[in-house]
Structure 1
């Protein structure tokens, strides 16, 4: 097994006034050659947008973009005609493919919105752009990891053009779980949303990131009440569509 630890306080940070963002991997003004990606996981941004502010219309292409709200409401508009509001308890996905324009705004006039913006390199280029969002309330589990993303349209959660599986978990203090890798050659990047946990004995705290690969499973223990996101992705960049 190989591992990499990214403590919360080692992330890139940019405060633009209306946007306070922490970057696990190189992004915009934060460029670190040792923090470019984890396999095909390219971007993990921990964003807070001020009340009534947001990202103006901007383009994307050939990227799978996942948004997971943690607090508040985020309004989405795009060039496919979608207008939607995503909130905590939901997951949004866009396959940018041949190209898409979109904007994201905090609809709340008096409080910030917090969300994760995640980019994954696709295994197919120039696909038809696609948008989806779902509620994960009906698939939530206590003291267990539950799937919120996969490569398969018929599975639980949203799907993307990549052999990736995402799981969320909300755990009470002392709860334990095991995780089995879905596909040989994949690794898992764990991001601690709340609390303190141990993964294969490695102690992790809020907003720490921990990657594991060249293994087929690992053990998890929640030291305090916790919430965790697991992102299983191919480690080989040959899995990126050409």
Structure 2
């Protein structure tokens, strides 16, 4: 098992955003102290907006952007008309495609928030921009990205991303290579104690939460592939 902890890495950011990047794949520039991703998954940042902070308007093209709200709220402004505000335990997935979109992310509150920003590269270029939104359910792993083109619940990809909101003693298993990021609490993963800010890479997953409100972000490849 390989483990990377957020707090050993440089904390940077821009505008009103402060973030620690744990995954910056070589496909998108890479960094010496961060990991490569898995499949189409190429970027993971653990971020906080300053009170009333914002990213300012910026573009994306040929990129899938998954936002996981952990604490507080965020408002999205931009060219995707169905983009909307988010609060803790909600997830949105935006496909820029060949059409592209511009957006601004704003913290509307007088306190910091916290979110995960995950990027994946679309497997088909030139697709139209699209948008998905999810409410996390307690003690469930919610698929928020990946799957066949025949379904429309998630943006299609052979790389699967699931987000869990887990209470104490809840157990999650997965067979096969994976990457996982733990936030908001502690757990036992493959016999090792892990905590908020730990990124793990291994074969086969056996995770049990040791506290309530643990978020587990799980990335793996479609077994049918």
Q: TM-score, normalised by structure 2?
A: 0.83
For the Cα contact (< 8 Å) 1:24–1:43, is it kept in 2?
yes
Moved over 4 A (4+): 27-30, 152-156
Cα offsets for 1:179-203 (capped at 9, x unmatched): 234xxxx632211112221111122
> For 1:65-96, what per-residue CA distance to the aligned partner results, in whole angstroms no more than 9, with x for missing partners?
11011111111122233452111121111011
Structure 1 counterpart SS, 2:24: coil
Q: TM-score, normalised by structure 1?
A: 0.78
Change (3 A) 1:48 1:194: same
For the 8 Å contact 2:69–2:88, the answer to whether it is kept is yes
Q: Where do residues 75-94 of structure 1 align in structure 2 (5 Å cutoff)?
A: 75-94=75-94
Please report how far the alpha carbon of residue 152 of structure 1 lies from its aligned counterpart in structure 2 after TM superposition: 5.4
CA contact 1:190–1:228 (8 Å) conserved in 2: no
| Aligned residue in 2 for 1:31 | 31
Closer, same or farther: CA 52–228 of 1 in aligned 2, 3 Å = closer
- After superposition, the CA RMSD in angstroms is 2.9
Please list every run of 5 or more consecutive structure 2 residues that lacks an aligned counterpart in the other structure.
none
Name the CA shift for 1:81/1:141 in 2 (closer, same or farther; >3 Å). closer
Aligned pair in 2 of structure 1 residues 16, 79: CA closer, same or farther (>3 Å)?
Answer: closer
SS of structure 2 residue aligned to 1:9: helix
Aligned residues: 218
Structure 1, unmatched stretches of 5+, are none
2:9 is aligned to 11
State yes or no: 1:228 paired with 2:215: yes
Asked if the contact 2:15–2:55 (Cα under 8 Å) also holds between the matched residues in 1, the reply is no
Aligned-pair CA distance for 1:226: 5.3
User: 2:138: which partner in 1?
Assistant: 141
Partner residue, 1:197: 187
- What displacement does 1:125 show? 1.6
Post-superposition shift, 1:160? Answer: 1.9
CA distance in 1, matches of 2:134, 2:209: 27
Q: Quick one: distance in 2 between partners of 1:191 and 1:170?
A: 13
Q: For 1:1-242, list aligned pairs within 5 A.
A: 3-14=1-12, 16=14, 18-26=16-24, 31-32=31-32, 35-98=35-98, 99-108=100-109, 110-136=110-136, 140-142=137-139, 145-149=140-144, 150-151=146-147, 159-163=154-158, 164-172=160-168, 175-181=169-175, 187-213=177-203, 217-225=204-212, 227-234=214-221
1:16/1:29 CA distance change after superposition, 3 Å: farther
**Aligned partners of 1:197 and 1:203 also within 8 Å:** yes
> In the superposition, relative to structure 1, how do residues 203 and 133 fare at CA in structure 2: closer, same or farther (>3 Å)?
same
